[in-house]
Amino acid sequence: MNPAFYCPRHHPRTHGDRCIVSCGTQAHYYESLHSTRLHCSAHIPEAWQLFYYGYPDGCPTQQEKMYAFKIYALRRAWDAAFGTITWMDSAFQPIASVEPLWAEVERAGWWIPAQGDANLGNWTSDRALEIFGITRDVAMDIPLCYSGLVSILCRTSIGKEIWRLWQELYDKGAFNGPHQNIIGGQTGAWGNKTTGECSKDPRCHGHRHDESALSFVLYKLGLKPSKLPFLTLESEQGFIGHHVELVVPSKFQGAI
């Protein structure tokens, strides 16, 4: 499915518009993707939506190039000259107004949350470390971000640089690698994820693909993931929930 850009308010496009982008590559993600879309319609009606049920046009499959769908989907929104682009995984759903997020993006030029106290050293492969040009010892002191929520103010130099470097690491193959590190193990299935050897270093628990790459991008630019209390995972005051149950208000039943 190759969706057109959709906005609940149907207002005219301007260069300053915001766009929420998401993708569910397989059917088992569709229900959570529906939930994300409807929650966005209810709580972020000012933003356009670009939601994919399946892969974006021309995108390699997950088996060919891991998490390519994220780059391809975001690239379409970027090429359409939106002012602010926000990737929102189908695991996340807004449950209230996200105005504090927009304010932070306008202030800083970007917003990417920290993943608790996790670090890059535990969640990146040897191959990715080679591409990054750092050791695992260095990576142990680099915070891991959530790449399931990424907001970029596209007109800013910092926003453009985050996007450029993230794409560059995708092109270099830094996204690829098993989710779970099994020292000496062959590549295999782990639910909907994969297992295999990322490293012989026992500090490596697995590889986090686009997330590992984005964490390194922030480090390279002298930035740290945000610890603002926007996520319900991190704070009772959070306004972006995690795996919120799909409820279809009557006024949105025709939205999907």
pLDDT at residue 256 in the model: 43
Distance in angstroms (rounded) separating the CA atoms of residues 85 and 66: 21
Predicted structure pTM score:
0.92
Q: Most distant CA pair in the chain: distance in Å?
A: 56
Distance in angstroms (rounded) separating the CA atoms of residues 243 and 34: 11
- How many C-beta neighbours within 10 Å does residue 218 have? 23
**Residue boundaries of the structural domains of the chain:** 18-119+142-176+211-252
Per CATH, the number for 18-119+142-176+211-252 is 3.90.550.10
Note down pLDDT in tens along the chain; length 256 residues: 557 677 776 566 665 699 999 999 999 999 999 999 999 999 999 899 999 999 999 999 999 999 999 999 999 999 999 999 999 999 999 999 999 999 999 999 999 999 999 999 999 999 999 999 999 999 999 999 999 999 999 999 999 999 999 999 999 999 999 999 999 877 776 667 889 999 999 999 999 999 999 999 999 999 999 999 999 998 999 999 999 976 655 544 544 4
pLDDT at residue 187 in the model: 73
Side-chain-facing half-sphere of 72: CA atoms under 13 Å: 20
Distance in angstroms (rounded) separating the CA atoms of residues 189 and 158: 38
pLDDT at residue 245 in the model: 77
